[in-house]
């Protein structure tokens, strides 16, 4: 909302028509005492309770018209003996809220109203009594990322506040705010004065080092001036008001040698005369310059919260599976920044991070239970190490950032400030046989409410109903009675239905935001309609991704991260969204930031190409290749959707071949490459955070180290973009389940254990044979464009060995590759161009004059003979020699 100095915003808050409501209870011997009308359907009284009566403990009901025909709650509302209690009844939803006070007779006769908003961190700032029921305050909003807003709160307890939705105002602006306690009107007037804040400039993509040419545009914004002037230079000289004026030009950065390849310097001048200078520098790495695609990268996948702890102050225990001294939220962006040189030394050029957005669930450290897509989870950030700082630091080292994104589902608590899902506040949950305040659950001692929140509130959703939101800032101990509006039961109550705190009734979800088709079961996993409209689990609530409001919300959030510099997107649970519907999101992101590489998780455990192609028990419409295409004939792949996928079909063969030292079956999987729009863009992997190459697809690889080396030899030389899950380079947690298996497991018992101890002992970690092996594979792949982007041809696989050709751009880069398992192999490939071939592994040179290249490969090694190639790359290790 934009407000000018002359603008006066008046909000009229409607009230219910007058109705008579009465207190009846033990203090007045169940007679009728009229409640005070507090407006907005809220009625109140203060009562002093003694010991109760002959029928039971102190208690009461709220009665309409004093005739018992309509009264609430269904069972008497019990309170503590010998206490004074302020009682508030909401006639809109028939909920009751109580607050214990010192003495009903001592209530102040002077009313109190408070300003609460982003300008004061939602704390209380008393408003001045200006007479005639008016209250006033002057507030300066110093900049809240275009999210400045506020409410007016009666008595500073959130029980009665206005209006229903936050009032949105402008950043960097001071306002006089007036509230009338009778009419509930709020007026907001901008205060005039000198503007001393200059305009700000941002560049998209953000400055840094890139592997290919970049197209850059600028954006300028100011707190008051809608069209500040922006001047620029491109030659490194200081920008002045005599420099060129920016009017939506697009600048190009190309490799022109060492150092900065493009430097943009800017000067902004706003209507108040404020000036500011900024500098944006871009480097294009000459080794990586080429086509604008992601195939030249290799990806290191980190579970951010489990990688490295750079800031212990943001550590956080989830309420489920607590392990003392190992908070699930342990790693952070400060730690990741500190270890960028480790990842770079290992040879990776892109870092895939788990979803960084605000999460909510009992075990949400992994990031896949989004609650607020628009904000980065504070448990990952530090004041000096934000997500933006991490992106900038990665770019400064020439590394790209892949952000994991979930759009299929939200957490079980809805979406903050957008949609609320009905639950009782968790701080009122008491297990059967337990007692509130004595619950022994580690950091959550007392109750399961968020132990780091002042009021133990873990669901700060502004669109929650009054009966729920009134407890956001009260009753930290979770002991004051709260009536469940669904059942009339008063909590806390030991053993009360856990579903009211943690469960989901799909039929009651808001259809504007969610599907209402129930939960997945049985054959649903092979049925597209069920797969794409039902909820996977109680903490993954299926979004109605076809609705425009859902698209607008998610796409708006994604624009923010793309503008921050995110280079690529990994899309979670892709097959749970119908393809054509999903592609509208991809198109939006790639229109906003052209060249954005997106790859999806279409999980299958098997070759999985669809019944229409003849080798599967599920339809093609939920198989990986389908999502890379645009055609609608599942038996005839066609079109290119600009969406790539993780190569689950190839991975699914690994339990039967490479993990046992064999290459049998690899050729069969590769023979289906014709189904994909571009198989060279597939993202390949040996294992990840969910699945491993074992019979049950559940465990980190725990077999022979040489067989892991064989798997990496394959993935780094065949078509596709290889990715490595953190710790694979030392066989971290070998044989452990990827995720929690039993009721007593903690994260430390899984493949998601904390990795930081190994990073603190880098000498030992970096000397591991697999670390050195992967490092050299990265060196070789980065030196040979054919191994990055070349089409695969002449595939020949015989179990103990394999050979193939990678041809990039009609022999611009051409490689003949041979793989050997545990026994050395003799390789011969015919029909290759004549010329001089040099092996990137041994440096051996072979001159071909008859179209046939023959060479030997040692056990567990590879031969990568490159036409007119560079020769030996890197140093010999245990497996590459």
The per-residue pLDDT for range 343-367, each reduced to its tens digit, is 999 999 999 999 999 999 999 999 9
> How confident is residue 257, by pLDDT bands cut at 50, 70 and 90?
low
- Residue 712, classed as helix, strand or coil, is helix
Torsion-angle region of residue 41: left (phi > 0), alpha (psi -120 to 50) or beta? Answer: left
pLDDT bracket for residue 341 (50, 70, 90): very high
* 614 dihedral zone (left: phi>0; alpha: psi -120 to 50; beta): left
Question: Cis peptide before 205, with omega less than 30 degrees from 0?
Answer: yes
**Least-confidence region, from 213-227, 804-818, 848-862:** 213-227
Place of tokens 């090694």: 861
Higher pLDDT, 130 or 413: 413
Q: What percentage of the chain carries pLDDT values higher than 70?
A: 95
Determine the Cα–Cα distance for residues 726 and 773; give it in Å rounded to an integer. 15
DSSP string, 718-778: SSSEEEEETTGGGTTTTT-BSS--STT--GGGSTT---HHHHHTHHHHHTSHHHHHHHHHH
Residue with tokens 């009122």, as numbered in its chain: 428
| pLDDT at 30 exceeding the cut of 70 | yes
CA 549 – CA 556 distance, rounded (Å): 10
- How far is it, in rounded angstroms, from Cα 265 to Cα 203? 11
Arithmetic mean of pLDDT, 450-463:
93
Specify the pLDDT at position 214. 81
Helix, strand, coil shares of the chain, percent, nearest 5, are 20, 30, 50
Residue 609 has pLDDT above 60, yes or no: yes
> Which pLDDT score is estimated for 667?
96
Among candidate residues 422, 405, 404, the one with its CA nearest the CA of residue 413: 422
CB within 8 A of 382, min separation 6: which ones?
A: 310, 311, 313, 314, 332, 333, 334
Cis peptide before 163 (omega within 30 of 0): yes
Inform me whether the pLDDT recorded for 205 exceeds 80.
yes
* pLDDT for res 4: 32
Rounded-to-integer distance, Cα 380 and Cα 360, Å: 14
SS3 call for 283: strand
Work out the pLDDT band at 291, boundaries 50, 70, 90.
very low
Output the pTM of the full model: 0.72
Name the band, by pLDDT with cuts 50, 70 and 90, for residue 24: very high
337: tokens are 């920044």
The H-assigned helical ranges of 366-522 are: 387-396, 466-469, 499-502
Pairing assessment for the beta strands 229-233 and 262-269 based on DSSP bridges:
antiparallel
Tokens of 811: 């022999």
Residue 660 DSSP label: G
CB atoms within 10 A of CB 695: 10
Average pLDDT over residues 541-554: 97
pLDDT for 104: 86
- Provide the token pair at 325: 């001294």
- Give me the pLDDT at residue 146, please: 60
Q: Which helix (H) or strand (E) holds 72?
A: strand 70-78
User: And the tokens for 128?
Assistant: 């001045």
**Residue 180 · residue 130 · CB < 8 Å:** no
Share of the chain above pLDDT 90, in %: 73
pLDDT greater than 50 at residue 9: no
Residues 6+ apart with CB under 8 A from 168: 1, 148, 149
CA distance 173 to 4: 10
CA distance 824 to 860: 8
Q: Do residues 499 and 491 touch, judged by C-beta distance below 8 A?
A: no
On the question of pLDDT at 311 being above 70, the answer is yes
Q: What is the pLDDT of residue 13?
A: 30
In the block, tokens 């097959």 appear at 575
**Is 511's pLDDT higher than 60?**
yes
CB 771 within 8 A of CB 338: no
Pick the closest to residue 827 from 816, 835, 837, 841 (CA basis): 816
The whole-number average pLDDT for the span 29-47 is: 87
Rounded CA separation 262/252 (Å): 8
pLDDT of 97 reads 80
Q: How far is Cα 21 from Cα 224, in angstroms, rounded to an integer?
A: 49
Is the per-residue pLDDT at 82 higher than 80?
Answer: yes
Q: Are 162 and 186 in contact (CB under 8 A)?
A: yes
Quote the DSSP letter at residue 551: H
Q: What pLDDT was estimated at residue 221?
A: 84
Q: For residue 854, what are its two tokens?
A: 């023959």
pLDDT tens digits along 645-674: 999 999 999 999 999 999 999 999 999 999
Compute the distance between CA of residue 490 and CA of residue 483 in angstroms, rounded to an integer: 4
The angle, 0 to 180 degrees and rounded to 10, between the axes of the packed helices 548-564 and 387-396 is 50
Q: What is the mean pLDDT of residues 462-474?
A: 92
Interatomic CA distance for residues 335 and 726, integer angstroms: 14
* pLDDT one-digit tens code per residue, 133-185: 889 999 888 765 567 899 999 877 788 889 988 899 888 788 899 999 888 88
Q: Which residue has the higher pLDDT, 809 or 288?
A: 809
pLDDT value at 12 more than 60: no
3-state class of 381 per DSSP?
Answer: coil
CA distances from 233 to 1, 216, 241, 271, 280 (A): 33, 14, 11, 21, 11
Task: Check whether 266 has a pLDDT greater than 60.
Answer: yes
Instruction: Specify the pLDDT at position 381.
Output: 97
Residue 711 has pLDDT above 90, yes or no: yes
- The answer to whether 686 and 702 are in contact (CB under 8 A) is no
**Gyration radius of the chain's alpha carbons:** 32
pLDDT band of residue 729 (cuts 50, 70, 90) is very high
Residues in the chain, overall count: 881
| CA–CA gap between residue 776 and residue 607 (Å, rounded) | 30
Contact 539, 369 (CB under 8 A): yes
Q: Is the pLDDT of residue 557 over 70?
A: yes
pLDDT at residue 537 greater than cutoff 60: yes
Weakest mean pLDDT among 281-285, 444-448, 715-719, 765-769: 281-285
Q: What is the pLDDT of residue 246?
A: 93
C-beta of residue 392 within 8 angstroms of C-beta of residue 400: no
Rounded to the nearest integer, the mean pLDDT of the chain is: 91
């Amino acid at each position: 909302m934009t407000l000018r100095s002359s603008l006066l915003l008046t909000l009229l808050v409607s009230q219910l028509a007058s109705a008579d409501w009465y207190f009846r209870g033990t203090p007045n011997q169940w007679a009728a005492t009229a409640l005070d009308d507090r407006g907005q359907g809220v009625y109140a009284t203060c009562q002093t309770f003694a010991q109760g009566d002959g029928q039971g403990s102190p208690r009461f009901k709220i009665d309409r018209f004093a005739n018992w025909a309509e009264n609430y709650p269904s069972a008497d509302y019990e309170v503590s003996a010998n206490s004074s209690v302020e009682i508030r009844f909401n006639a809109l939803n028939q909920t009751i809220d109580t607050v214990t006070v010192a003495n009903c007779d001592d209530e102040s006769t002077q009313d109190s109203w408070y300003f609460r908003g982003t300008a004061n961190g939602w704390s209380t700032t008393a408003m001045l009594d200006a007479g005639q029921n008016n209250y006033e305050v002057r507030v300066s909003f110093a900049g809240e990322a275009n999210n400045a807003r506020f409410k007016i709160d009666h008595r500073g307890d959130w029980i009665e506040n206005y209006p229903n939705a936050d009032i949105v105002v402008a950043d960097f602006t001071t306002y006089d705010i007036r509230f009338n306690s009778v009419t509930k009107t709020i007026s907001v007037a901008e205060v005039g004065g000198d503007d001393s804040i200059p305009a700000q400039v941002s560049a998209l993509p953000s400055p840094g080092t890139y592997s290919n040419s970049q197209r850059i545009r600028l954006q300028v914004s100011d707190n008051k001036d809608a069209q500040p002037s922006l001047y620029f230079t491109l030659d490194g000289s200081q920008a002045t008001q005599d420099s060129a004026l920016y009017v939506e030009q697009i600048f190009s950065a190309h490799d022109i040698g060492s150092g900065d390849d493009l430097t943009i310097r800017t000067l902004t001048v706003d209507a108040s005369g404020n000036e500011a200078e900024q500098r944006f520098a871009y480097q294009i790495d000459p080794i990586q310059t080429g086509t604008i695609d992601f195939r030249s990268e290799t990806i290191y996948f980190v579970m951010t919260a489990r990688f490295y702890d750079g800031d212990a102050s943001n550590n956080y225990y989830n309420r489920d599976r607590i392990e003392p001294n190992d908070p699930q939220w342990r790693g952070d962006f400060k730690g990741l920044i500190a270890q960028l040189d480790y990842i770079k030394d290992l040879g990776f050029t892109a870092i895939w991070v788990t979803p960084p957005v605000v999460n909510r669930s009992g075990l949400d450290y992994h990031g896949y239970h989004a609650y607020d897509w628009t904000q980065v989870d504070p448990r990952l950030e530090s004041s000096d190490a934000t997500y933006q700082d991490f992106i900038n630091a990665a770019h400064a080292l020439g590394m790209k950032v892949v952000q994991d994104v979930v759009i299929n589902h939200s957490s079980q608590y809805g979406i903050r400030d957008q949609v609320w899902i009905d639950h009782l506040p968790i701080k009122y949950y008491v297990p059967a046989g337990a007692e509130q305040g004595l619950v022994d659950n580690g950091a959550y001692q007392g109750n399961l409410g968020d132990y780091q929140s002042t009021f133990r509130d873990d669901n700060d959703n502004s669109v929650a109903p009054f009966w729920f939101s009134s407890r956001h800032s009260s009753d930290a101990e979770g002991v004051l009675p709260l009536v469940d509006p669904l059942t009339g039961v008063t909590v806390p109550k030991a053993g009360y239905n856990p579903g009211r705190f943690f469960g989901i009734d799909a039929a009651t979800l808001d259809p504007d935001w969610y599907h209402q088709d129930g939960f997945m079961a049985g054959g649903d996993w092979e049925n597209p309609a069920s797969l794409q409209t039902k909820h996977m689990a109680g903490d993954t609530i299926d979004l109605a991704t076809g609705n425009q409001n859902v698209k607008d919300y998610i796409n708006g959030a994604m624009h923010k991260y793309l503008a921050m510099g995110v280079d690529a997107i990994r899309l979670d649970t892709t097959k749970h969204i119908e393809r054509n519907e999903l592609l509208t999101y991809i198109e939006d992101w790639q229109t906003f930031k052209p060249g954005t590489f997106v790859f999806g998780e279409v999980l299958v455990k098997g070759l999985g190409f669809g019944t229409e192609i003849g080798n599967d028990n599920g339809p093609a419409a939920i198989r990986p290749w389908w999502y890379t295409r645009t055609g609608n004939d599942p038996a005839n792949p066609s079109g290119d959707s600009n969406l790539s996928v993780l190569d689950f079909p190839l991975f699914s063969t690994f339990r039967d071949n490479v993990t046992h030292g064999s290459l049998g079956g690899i050729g069969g999987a590769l023979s289906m490459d014709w189904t994909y729009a571009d198989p060279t863009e597939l993202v390949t992997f040996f294992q990840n955070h969910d699945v491993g190459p074992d019979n049950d697809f559940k465990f980190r690889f725990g077999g022979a180290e040489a067989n892991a080396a064989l798997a990496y030899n394959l993935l780094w030389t065949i078509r596709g973009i290889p990715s490595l899950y953190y710790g694979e380079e030392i066989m971290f947690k070998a044989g452990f389940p990827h995720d929690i298996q039993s009721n007593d497991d903690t994260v430390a018992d899984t493949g998601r254990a904390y990795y930081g101890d190994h990073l603190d002992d880098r000498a030992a970690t970096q000397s591991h044979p697999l670390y050195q092996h992967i490092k050299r594979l990265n060196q070789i792949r980065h030196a040979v464009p054919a191994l990055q982007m070349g089409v695969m041809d002449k595939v020949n696989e015989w179990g103990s060995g394999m050979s193939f050709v990678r041809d990039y751009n009609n022999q611009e880069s051409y490689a003949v590759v041979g793989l050997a398992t545990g026994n050395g192999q003799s390789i011969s490939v015919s029909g290759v161009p004549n010329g001089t071939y040099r092996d990137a592994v041994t440096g051996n040179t072979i001159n071909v004059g008859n179209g046939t290249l023959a060479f030997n490969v040692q056990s567990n090694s590879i031969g990568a003979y490159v036409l007119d190639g560079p020769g030996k790359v890197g140093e010999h290790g245990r497996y590459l020699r």
